[in-house]
Amino acid sequence: MNQLLDKIYETKVLEDSQGNLINPFPTATPYDTGMIFKELIQKNHLERTLEIGMAYGLSTMFICQSHHDKGSGSHIAIDPFQSTMWKSIGMLNIKRAGLSEKLQLFEAFSYEVLPQLLAEGKKIDFAFIDGSHQFDYTLVDFFYVDKLLEVGGYVVFDDIWMPGIRKVLYFILKNRGYEIVVNHSDISWKKRVERTARRWIQNPLERDHNGIRFLPLNICVLKKISEDNRPWDFYRSF
């Protein structure tokens, strides 16, 4: 793995352009999540990747480093606040890690960029959705990501502890050709129980037919198994 990435996770700090030390956690992507990205990309030879929400750039570094290690591939990041809210720290980390040639950044909203990529005929094999966590914005992100994503590709949703994110996942699994990819994790049983209990307490009557509330990590990985071939009036309650 990249030395800068290892150092950040070891020390739990990163530097901005003025040398100020910043603790990026818990905002930044956890190490075990980054390793899942690496395994997915390298094991399945995924070449064209995209993420919505870059922030400090740790997930971006994991993905770009995965392309670097396998010798091919490129990544698109979409983050309208990279130079404002995040003070370009994500891009700075990519440059320091020597991964700039693997990344194309769009500093605009995903609902502006994704239709543009679709109009250009872009295709992707992997997407990480970690932008706005409101239900409607997340659903719009998925709608366009699905149009870009090849069958056999993967889409990962972050922060499934949030009810709105889980609701999007229920819709997808009920109405679209996707399946959950179960990832093994060394996370403790105590942490698993805490996360499940938190999700349960939020909405005890929540309909969960796919076990999303019991997933050990705060991400859900979906694999696209078919194109959208629904009849024009198709709908399943979620």
Lowest mean pLDDT among 6-10, 28-32, 158-162, 196-200: 196-200
Pairing mode, if any, of strands 149-158 and 124-129?
parallel
Contacts of 103 (CB under 8 A, 6+ apart): 60, 64, 74, 75, 76, 77, 94
Q: What DSSP assignment string belongs to the chain? A: --HHHHHHHHHS-EE-TT--EE--TTTSPPHHHHHHHHHHHHHTT--EEEEE--TTSHHHHHHHHHHHHHT--EEEEE-TTTTTTTTTHHHHHHHHTT-GGGEEEE-S-HHHHHHHHHHTT--EEEEEE-S--SHHHHHHHHHHHHHHEEEEEEEEEE-TTSHHHHHHHHHHHHHSSEEEE-------HHHHHHHHHHHHHH-TT---SS-GGG-SSSEEEEEE-S-----TT-----
Tokens representing 149 are: 């994503």
Mean pLDDT of 1-12: 91
What is the model's pLDDT at position 184? 66
The Cα–Cα gap between 191 and 196 comes to 9
234 pLDDT more than 90: yes
| pLDDT for the residue numbered 139 | 98
pLDDT confidence of 16, banded at 50, 70, 90?
confident
Which fold does the domain 3-224 belong to in CATH? Rossmann fold (3.40.50)
Per-domain boundaries in the chain: 3-224
pLDDT tens-digit series, residues 28-49: 999 999 999 999 999 999 999 9
How far is 107 from 91, CA to CA, in rounded Å? 11
Mean pLDDT score across all residues of the chain: 94
Residue 227 scores a pLDDT above 70: yes
pLDDT score at 74:
98
- Region 71-81: mean pLDDT is 98
HSE (side-chain half, CA atoms, 13 Å) at 186: 5
